[in-house]
Structure 1
Amino acid sequence: MPPLPRSTQKTPAMRSGASRPAFWRMLEIHKIISLGKYPNCSTLARETELTPKTIQRDISFMRDQMGLPLEYDAVRHGYHYTAPVHDFPMLHLSRNDLVALFLARHALEPLRGTLMERMLAESFSKIADACPGQISIAWHELDAAFSVKASGVLAADVTLFGDLLDAVRACREVCFDYHKLTGTGAEQRTVHPYHVGQIEHGWYLLGYDPMRGAVRTFALQRIMNLKVLEERFTRDPGFNARDHLGGGFGVWSYGSGEKPLHEVHIRFEGYAARVVAERQWHPTQAIRKLEPDGSVIEFQADLAGLEEITRWVLSWGSRAQVLGPPELKARVQEELQAMMQDCG
């Protein structure tokens, strides 16, 4: 490892940054290095408001104690990962810890949309980012146009969640009765549970279905009569929940590289423009201001499917206008026409 560069006089921001918890510091370092821009100690110190000495100590711990494939490139003068790092192994949470997070997520429902909810969500997000790869929690703010009914968590929900966690961590098959949204009744499914995640304010299981030869998404509230089987499976080492869901606009998955992407362009105005511009809706999104004050914007994203984006566009009413692609325009028009017929 290269010698530590001499630091200049510490700024107040750098001194305060050094007191931040080690968990926060190393997670921030991990995120920056993951961008692949080969940052060095000085670069990382500026971006995290830490001292180069603290950065050097944290990097040594990440490499030597956590086993991360972290090395310094003498040619590019910066750090990089020599192998893919999908999950940051900061915390090893127990089953009870994860169940507590599940309950805490529901406990925040009455506060949704308030300043307190945002503050607590940011704190829980730091914990969620360090969860094992088998579970993820996405803390998205909810638009004021939606309402939430505050209710307690049923004991059956906690039991189901805990049993699924055990199955995911032990790589044991599960079987259950499942009622699809488009189905007329429940059907029995046997799957290899890969991942339990909180997505768009709902809990979902991502599991490989041997009968269908693909990974499928199951809403926990529609899973009934769950049984954890004795049979074990080998988890696909190439599976990554973020990659699996990355092509869609929510919980729908369209596989990876199986379909050409749709380049979606939507014009928003008024309050919708401001709300859309404030939030991260999709990893590929780009926002372009059409008016200097931000009252009119253009939203762009690359999506593998159009089902969920169609519903999202409709939820904004007259404040949203689809610019492309033609397939999305046609979908929105068909839905509006069907709605008018029903009203008539």
Structure 2
Amino acid sequence: MNRMDRLLGIVIELQRKGGQRAVDLADRFETSVRTIYRDMQALSESGVPIVGAPGQGYSLMDGYFLPPVHLTVEEAFAILMGTEFVEQQFDPPYSTQAESGRHKIESVLPAPVRARLAEFSESTRILNTRLPAEQRMLELKVLGHIRGALLADKKVRFRYTKPLVRSDKEQETERTVAPYGLVLIQGVWMLVAHCDLRNAIRHFRLSRMQNVVVLDESFERPADFELRSYTPQDDRSLFIHVQFQPHLRNAVLESNHFFMESVTMGTDVVDVILRVRQPEDVLKWVLSWGAGVEVIGPEEFRLQIRREIENMLQRY
């Protein structure tokens, strides 16, 4: 990054985040603290009202704003694709506001940039086909309730449906939770929350929630909880070894299954190691590959697969 780009970046960072220490800016722009000191002096000499306070870092004087930003075609494309993603993945009013913001950005772009951007847009699309339309609308409705509860620090009550281990049936329970945050994982919305029933942090798929009610009861998030740095406890201790036929290699990789620990290409097979809590986590997934996969171990899982196949044969 050249110096002019870095100086502009520093001003944008101060305008966006407020006070920043020199060491933080040095890490952000991958340079030395001494260089940041020189940059701050250069910005001050050029008329940018930089305020420095010992122990607090640098900030911009109140009321100072950058002039309108000139976007490159690539920058405008990235921003507009982001708004299209929000339109599809978020509930109203965010999806509506994203569409409105996209139109505003498009309207102020120079004609040559708009023309080039149209060419980019014609070659790229974002499609969301994970859920049928009716189920998708229900999930977005739940998302709206949860998002409102998060902003108001209110607890939520709902009916939650979860498949039972070693059974084709489902279990339905009523949960009251303190919502800590929403996470979108591979197109699936998950709620991270403290569950009163379990007295611990749990994860809930929004698509499995019903009768969602935002309660009047308030809660306080733990001071040490940060969603961006939160990592759930990994209790997957069982390793399963399966082998796929070589022609399935790309399909296996594209499946990007959550429990895949490693994939190794052998001479005539594809070795895959799965790390799970219990065999049922991947039972249906393994069966879905038919004769193209073989379970190598553990032996108990091989027998479980065999019993399932025998049960299937009884239906034909």
Shorter-chain TM band: 0.5 to 0.7
Higher-Rg structure is 2
- 1:158 corresponds in structure 2 to 140
- 1:340 corresponds in structure 2 to 313
How far apart, CA to CA, are the structure 1 residues paired with 2:280 and 2:163?
14
**Secondary structure of 2:220's match?**
coil
1:234 deviates by 3.2
- 2:117 corresponds in structure 1 to none
- 2:103 corresponds in structure 1 to none
Do the aligned partners of 1:99 and 1:158 also contact (CA within 8 Å) in 2? no
Structure 1 residues 220 and 340, CA gap change in structure 2 (3 angstroms)? same
2:87 alignment partner AA = A
Structure 2 counterpart of 1:102, from 89, 105, 116 = 89
1:266 deviates by 1.2
Q: How many residues are paired up?
A: 217
1:223 deviates by 2.0
1:243 equivalent to 2:231? Answer yes
1:297 deviates by 1.2
- 1:48 corresponds in structure 2 to none
1:332 deviates by 1.9
1:54 deviates by 6.1
1:224 equivalent to 2:179? Answer no
2:143 alignment partner AA = F
Q: Deviations over 1:319-340 (max 9, x none)?
A: 1111122333233223222222
1:162 deviates by 1.6
TM-score when scaled to structure 2?
0.52
- 1:330 corresponds in structure 2 to 303
2:184 alignment partner AA = Q
Structure 1 counterpart of 2:277, from 297, 301, 304 = 304
How far apart, CA to CA, are the structure 2 residues paired with 1:262 and 1:180?
21
How far apart, CA to CA, are the structure 2 residues paired with 1:311 and 1:55?
47
Q: Deviations over 1:134-160 (max 9, x none)?
A: xxxxx9xxxxxxx96763676554332
1:97 deviates by 10
Do the aligned partners of 1:177 and 1:225 also contact (CA within 8 Å) in 2? yes
- 2:240 corresponds in structure 1 to 264
Do the aligned partners of 1:206 and 1:215 also contact (CA within 8 Å) in 2? yes
Do the aligned partners of 2:246 and 2:270 also contact (CA within 8 Å) in 1? no
Structure 1 residues 320 and 238, CA gap change in structure 2 (3 angstroms)? farther
Q: Deviations over 1:89-118 (max 9, x none)?
A: xxxxxxx999635249x9xxxxxxxxx9x9
Structure 1 residues 57 and 296, CA gap change in structure 2 (3 angstroms)? farther
Q: As a proportion of its length, which structure holds more helix? A: 2
- 1:7 corresponds in structure 2 to none
Structure 2 counterpart of 1:204, from 177, 181, 190 = 190
1:321 equivalent to 2:309? Answer no
CA RMSD across the alignment: 4.6
How far apart, CA to CA, are the structure 2 residues paired with 1:228 and 1:97?
28
**Superposition pairs of residues 57-68 of structure 1, within 5 angstroms:** none
Structure 1 residues 174 and 224, CA gap change in structure 2 (3 angstroms)? same
Do the aligned partners of 1:267 and 1:298 also contact (CA within 8 Å) in 2? yes
Structure 1 residues 339 and 279, CA gap change in structure 2 (3 angstroms)? closer
Unaligned stretches of 5+ in structure 2?
14-25, 41-82, 96-120
1:171 equivalent to 2:153? Answer yes
Do the aligned partners of 1:173 and 1:230 also contact (CA within 8 Å) in 2? yes
**Secondary structure of 1:329's match?**
helix
1:165 deviates by 1.4
Do the aligned partners of 1:284 and 1:302 also contact (CA within 8 Å) in 2? yes
Do the aligned partners of 2:155 and 2:179 also contact (CA within 8 Å) in 1? yes
Do the aligned partners of 2:163 and 2:171 also contact (CA within 8 Å) in 1? no
1:243 alignment partner AA = T
Q: Percent identity?
A: 22
How far apart, CA to CA, are the structure 2 residues paired with 1:283 and 1:169?
33
TM-score when scaled to structure 1?
0.49
1:274 equivalent to 2:250? Answer yes
1:189 equivalent to 2:175? Answer yes
**Secondary structure of 2:248's match?**
helix
1:218 deviates by 2.9
How far apart, CA to CA, are the structure 2 residues paired with 1:309 and 1:201?
19
**Secondary structure of 2:282's match?**
helix
- 1:37 corresponds in structure 2 to none
- 1:285 corresponds in structure 2 to 261
Do the aligned partners of 2:260 and 2:272 also contact (CA within 8 Å) in 1? no
